[in-house]
Structure 1
Amino acid sequence: MPLICLRDIKKHYGGVNGAPKVAILHGIDLDIGTGEFVAIVGASGSGKSTLMHILGCLDPPSSGQYLFNGEDIATLDSDQLAALRREAFGFVFQAYHLIPTESARENVEVPAIYAGMNETVRQVRATELLQRLGLGERLDNRPSQLSGGQQQRVSIARALINGGHIILADEPTGALDNNTGEEVMNLLSDLAAQGHTVILITHDYKVAAQAQRVIDIQDGRIVSDSQDRHEDTREHNHRRPTGDALLPRSNPSNPHAIALIWDELRDACRAAWRVLRINRARTLLTLLGIIIGVASVVVMLAVGEGAKRQVMTEMNAMGPNMLYVSSTVPDNGGPRGVITEEDIAAMAQLPDVLRVMPILRDPALVRFGDISRRYEILATNEVMPAINRWPVAQGRFYSAEENRNVAPVAVLGYGVYQQFFPQGANPLGLQVLIKDAPYEIIGVMAEKGAESGYSYHDERLYLPRRTGMVRVFPAQRNESYIQLEALSSDQVDRLEQQLKTLLLERHGRDDFRVSSNAARLQAELATRNSMTLMLVLIAAISLLVGGIGVMNVMLMTVRERVREIGIRMATGARQQDILRQFVTEAALVSLLGGAIGAALSLAIIIVLDLAEVPVAPSLSALLGAIFCAMTTGIIFGLIPARQAARLNPVDALSGE
């Protein structure tokens, strides 16, 4: 059985969606045996290149049967066809079809990569092939740095890297001068003499005459075949074992699947990085969207987390086990409620109460020297520093006895102290006028705003409760509100229910309000969470826009590299190999943009921190944003990658 057997092969293009049908091949019957040197010659448009594409499994016939080594090609799927091109065929093209971004050695290695050849083995093999073809000093040169003859030698070495059992040479001398063309033909003749099956496609009858067998094709039909005249040579070649002209035939494939995948992925990353580096400006513009998106997400999350922590700090400063009771107008109407002394005493007797602090609060005119301002006056009992975990910075707080005796003493908030004593003088023993009545300054509270985030705590004066009732607010007989401290934060909810039950029993109606720090701060926390979520969503849109930018650039890249895709397919790349190549490039762009965006976000966070904006950077948020950026890039890169993987090899090779 011949190695290649064609029966009634026909090929036409068009005939779909109203397009005219153009027939190229009209019933080709052809047998080619192992070791033959065959020249298929014909004028331009005769169908010889189409026949070569069918022979090399680059393009399927429209009808007819193609048997390769007895197996019907029509039964093979795309991966099996790619394997056949990779293991059995080696292509030598008139236009060389070398990947411009790869060196000579890397171009030779391409089929070996897809064959799973170990990196070290394939590098040694490619180097040895190029050396034997006279290119030992040009290993690292790119195609643009090589002459036409040198590029054709590289393509021949590439055809032989996996064994090159069948060499398909399409016009290999068409773009060369006479001397270089003779050298290439001598190489092909040597390969044929050493057992390779060489199929030469040419329009030059002088070149075709150097083959053992010449097949003339005209208008898609074989018009002559010199097979009978070379029967003895053909029979001799059939008996000759097929071998590698330059290296022994061996299967250097990597037997380990994981190592193979890693090797292919590493090569894809290397090729992707080189493409990105060559197109620096476009890569930078693509990265910009990813960088902005990642930086925005990380910074917004840091600001949001900083706001949350500030709320928690405030909660701890104000006391998570604090409750507040105030009077109000009932929902069903009636006079405003009154919190009486008896109510306060009854609340103090509840088992879960640790401290009770009734508070009278109202603004009043305060004067010291030439300074006259309205400040809020809080009249409380002596437990105020303890219940609020708020120390006195200078002097002391008033005592229970001073409260009972209606003592005219006052404690300044830190902000009031700074207004009255900007030079930091000692205020103790001096007097301030509150509603024109003198009060001795006995202490200054520590700065509360620095701890809680709210400075209004420091803009107050604190008086004994009874002093406030008798001297400052004689007309205000009910309490502004009552602050209570539960024994622990775990008992806040239970104490809240106890207070509501107690006051409802005593008042007979719902004319009071009970709240807690936890409830108020949780509401604020929920608000800030909503704001953070909104900001993060806006930042995520930036990341999405960056992903769309990756897709647009990858689509452009696919269009620009159609010929490279065809070269890779012709040398044995499967659809998944092409898919992996372009997805890797998209992932690399996104990963690089994510890393730069993360670095930028850290710089912004440092600036915000120096500006005293509450921020709380998170490593998980940083890594998560980079991961999301890479995932976004991969998802959006899949569309152009799939488009590249589905290209027809022949159309891709002829693309620009």
Structure 2
Amino acid sequence: MVDTVARDRLEPGGRPGEPANEPRHDAAETTRASEAGLAAPLLSLRNVRRAYTNTDGGPATEVLRGISLDIAAGEFVAIMGASGSGKSTLMHILGCLDRPTSGHYQFAGHDIAQLGADELAWLRREAFGFVFQGYHLVRSLDALHNVEMPAVYAGASLGERERRAAALLDQLGLADRATFRPGQLSGGQQQRVSIARALMNGGHVILADEPTGALDSRSGAEVVALLRELADAGHTVILITHDRAVAAQARRIVEIRDGQIVSDNGVRAPVAPNAPRTMIPASLDPRRFRAAMAAGIAHTARPWTDMREAFAAAWTVMWTNRFRTALTLLGIIIGVASVIVMLAIGAGTQQKVIAKIASFGTNRLYVVPGGDVSRGPGGVLTEADVRTIRQIPHVTTATPILRNKVTLRAGNVDSFVNVMAVNTDARRALNWNVARGLFFTDQDERNLATVILLGKKTRERMFGDANPLGAYVLVNNVPFQVIGELEEKGATSGDADDDDVVLIPYATGARRVLGTMNLNWITVLVDDIDNAEAVTKQIGDALEATHRVRDFRVYNRAASLRAQTETQQTMTIMLGLVAAISLLVGGIGVMNIMLVTVKERTREIGIRMAAGARQRDIQRQFLTEAITVTLVGGLAGVLIGVAIGLALLHWEVPIIFSVRAMLGAFACALVTGLVFGFMPARQAARLDPVTALASD
């Protein structure tokens, strides 16, 4: 059974993650590399020592005390010793999970001390396969994905690694357990899964640390038999055990005690012409080791594949811890929804205020008689000034206004009201539309027609709910016919109530009612609010030139509107910032949960590092998990924010949704995940593999 596995691993270019552009090596070249490996030891230790610093400040504890050991390719070696003898520490050094304090360790003739973190990760996934006493399977993954793990970090395609993992599970008798998680498997089955994982990238050197320690005698015997089959198939097998009966299954027994080798039977597998090929590929040939390593480190999955794998792993973790994930999402959801709703309310309120102001004119200027100094000349505005203003660029229209109090009588109802004598341009200049009836015309102006339009409040006071159109009223005892009613504009204060007013033609008012041509003010309409300041200056200059004195004032209503708009915008921003605080709190929650997650999954991190994960792989995985949480929370927050906004619209709260605000809130959520997830991800990536594997 395992012979078939071994033969599958020997196919040229068949290792998952092997660069597509590397030259293919035939069996003869692989055999030559293997023979070279037997001539020069594959693993060589010289006077290796390992000491651990005591955290309480005491002297360092020396676990290995000058180990010298050579292991050739294809050997089946048992390293035997009692608990605390240093055999597991030796295995960690052999498997490049740990470094010696002093001494030299060479793999394929190359000094391991010269290799960086990424190079050691490549060597672990290229050369080694680990089988641990505690199985060390990732509990959130099923058997198939646990086996696939080394190939993921080797950059193998999804289809290729699924086929290889399924084949390995099938050949190890676990085809019907591929979708089972570790908690659903027996101890023997879990250990078989770990052996399949060790073989996923070839398993050229199998390091088995007490593989039978947690198994019953029958399962333990099956695991040892599997290791013998792997050794017979040409794998280099290093078995760590305290059991002499298990060690006796190996061809060579090295006994270690108190960190020193006390015996070595020195038995080697003979190199005969008909001996099985060893499992060392050409990539581990000392003559091309460095080049193969450089190519292997450079060869990873495509960015999209990396991203897909990271998000798939993150989603699995989130789904496994659904309740905790939901609590974490809540902070992001509240933050995003708050930002969207608050900005929508702010924008809606701002538009409502601006619309209210707009009913009184936004791009209007007002020219009134009287100088800037109270003791200065009073000044007079005339129709000639209106004509002068109309000649100024960007002026749409200039409207003369005569205003005074008059006595208005309808039947037996008298009222003292404001009358405004205006021309036909007033309809546009003053934004005064007719609710019913007609506005007077230029012909009415020329004919001094006695026609009148009533404001809403004036009509209610004089006629109640009756339709006033066609009725006659007396304005200072001059009969006028009602031809229209003005739209409601809303009251302001005092005499400025624009709904308690009547309008009459300018010429009629000047000559037949008010008896004066001196204007109360001139209303100027500017084509664009951005031109208001320039037009204000030009009006001042032009009128000063004709009056020869500055006996007037020009009020820029647009400037006032702009100031009020900026105030509203500031208030909207303040609302958004207040809401963003909840998003910040949600981000802190993400960081807190991620820190807890790193602590809880420390062993998983060690397992992934043993399978060949680089520091950046670990960092990317945990960072992706944080981003995934905020991505889901951001999307949910947008939907909930829109739902709350629609509900507020139903209750007639002014709401204006902004796509930019939604995208901004969503982007902020992603940035929050990136920023607050970086520290936990970096902490996870910097964990020591041995310390991580030993965690509870």
TM-score normalised by length of structure 2:
0.82
Moved more, 233-242 or 561-570: 233-242
The question of 1:108 aligning with 2:147 is answered: yes
Does the CA-based 8 Å contact 1:291-1:596 persist in structure 2? yes
Instruction: Give the superposed CA RMSD.
Output: 3.8
What displacement does 1:360 show?
Answer: 4.2
Does the CA-based 8 Å contact 1:33-1:238 persist in structure 2? no
CA distance in structure 2 between the partners assigned to 1:152 and 1:374 by the alignment: 101
- Structure 2 match to 1:626: 666
- Structure 2 match to 1:247: none
Does the CA-based 8 Å contact 1:327-1:513 persist in structure 2? yes
The question of 1:58 aligning with 2:97 is answered: yes
Unaligned runs of 5+ in 1: 245-250
Q: In the TM superposition, what are the counterparts of 1:206-355 in structure 2 within 5 Å?
A: 206-227=245-266, 230-231=267-268, 233-235=269-271, 240-243=276-279, 260-306=302-348, 322-328=364-370, 330-331=372-373, 333-335=374-376, 337-341=378-382, 344=385, 347=388, 350=391, 352=393, 355=397
Indicate the SS of the match to 1:26: strand
- Structure 2 match to 1:144: 183
- Structure 2 match to 1:538: 578
Does the CA-based 8 Å contact 2:366-2:556 persist in structure 1? yes
What displacement does 1:2 show?
Answer: 0.8
Moved more, 476-485 or 49-58: 476-485
CA distance in structure 1 between the partners assigned to 2:636 and 2:416 by the alignment: 53
- Structure 2 match to 1:395: 437
State the identity %. 50
Indicate the SS of the match to 2:202: coil
The question of 1:72 aligning with 2:111 is answered: yes
CA distance in structure 2 between the partners assigned to 1:52 and 1:490 by the alignment: 78
Letter in 2 for 1:539: A
- Structure 1 match to 2:604: 564
CA distance in structure 2 between the partners assigned to 1:427 and 1:218 by the alignment: 115
What displacement does 1:655 show?
Answer: 1.2
Q: Deviations over 1:198-238 (max 9, x none)?
A: 111111112111111111111111111111xx24x355699
Does the CA-based 8 Å contact 1:36-1:237 persist in structure 2? no
- Structure 2 match to 1:575: 615
The question of 1:168 aligning with 2:207 is answered: yes
What displacement does 1:479 show?
Answer: 4.3
- Structure 2 match to 1:648: 688
The total of aligned residue pairs comes to 640
CA distance in structure 1 between the partners assigned to 2:274 and 2:611 by the alignment: 26
Unaligned runs of 5+ in 2: 1-39, 281-291
Letter in 1 for 2:111: D
Indicate the SS of the match to 1:174: coil
Letter in 1 for 2:569: N
Letter in 2 for 1:114: Y
CA shift in 2, pair 1:109/1:386, >3 Å: closer
Letter in 2 for 1:334: R
Q: In the TM superposition, what are the counterparts of 1:11-22 in structure 2 within 5 Å?
A: 11-14=50-53, 18-22=57-61
- Structure 1 match to 2:675: 635
Letter in 2 for 1:242: T
CA shift in 2, pair 1:489/1:151, >3 Å: closer
What displacement does 1:538 show?
Answer: 2.6
Does the CA-based 8 Å contact 2:118-2:297 persist in structure 1? no
What displacement does 1:601 show?
Answer: 2.4
Does the CA-based 8 Å contact 2:154-2:301 persist in structure 1? no
The question of 1:551 aligning with 2:591 is answered: yes
CA distance in structure 2 between the partners assigned to 1:288 and 1:380 by the alignment: 61
CA distance in structure 2 between the partners assigned to 1:45 and 1:294 by the alignment: 54
CA distance in structure 1 between the partners assigned to 2:409 and 2:177 by the alignment: 93
CA distance in structure 1 between the partners assigned to 2:629 and 2:500 by the alignment: 55
CA shift in 2, pair 1:514/1:2, >3 Å: same
What displacement does 1:449 show?
Answer: 6.5
- Which of residues 483, 489, 496 is equivalent to 1:442? 483
- Structure 2 match to 1:124: 163
- Structure 1 match to 2:44: 5
CA distance in structure 2 between the partners assigned to 1:286 and 1:368 by the alignment: 71
CA distance in structure 2 between the partners assigned to 1:255 and 1:569 by the alignment: 15
CA shift in 2, pair 1:171/1:372, >3 Å: farther
Letter in 2 for 1:222: I
Does the CA-based 8 Å contact 1:578-1:645 persist in structure 2? yes
Q: Deviations over 1:317-374 (max 9, x none)?
A: 666664311235524x415733333664564674556643233456789787999988
CA distance in structure 2 between the partners assigned to 1:372 and 1:285 by the alignment: 70
Does the CA-based 8 Å contact 2:368-2:381 persist in structure 1? no
Letter in 1 for 2:482: I
CA distance in structure 1 between the partners assigned to 2:450 and 2:153 by the alignment: 94
What displacement does 1:628 show?
Answer: 2.6
